[in-house]
Amino acid sequence: MIYVGMVNDRVRKVYENQSDLLKDFTKQYKVNKLVYYETAEDAGKAIEREKEIKDYSHEKKKSLIETINPGWIDLMDRLIK
């Protein structure tokens, strides 16, 4: 499963996911690995991009991920450095 979402506090979100504190979609479906992310100038642009990616087919999402992360390694630690 590929989950697409936008956050405004990446350090908090990484901590919550790594600590298994959430009782939302990510916990229900055991989404526990970050394999792709983008940054945006403002929330409006981030939401616009999130909607665009959500409309992608599964194959197109996989291709997007593999442009920067062909090995699908977990990138969570990169977000907090």
Q: What is the pLDDT of residues 25-70, one digit of tens each?
A: 666 766 778 899 998 989 999 999 999 999 999 999 999 999 999 9
Cβ neighbours, 10 Å, residue 33 = 12
Q: Is residue 20 a part of any domain in this protein?
A: yes
pLDDT at 66 (0 to 100): 97
Q: Is residue 42 a part of any domain in this protein?
A: yes
pLDDT at 34 (0 to 100): 85
The structure tokens listed for 58 are 């599964």
Q: Is residue 2 a part of any domain in this protein?
A: no
Number of domains observed in the structure of the chain: 1
Domain that holds residue 14: 10-79
Q: Is residue 5 a part of any domain in this protein?
A: no
Cα distances from 47 to residues 18, 41, 74, in angstroms, run 24, 11, 23
> Does this model's pTM top 0.85?
no
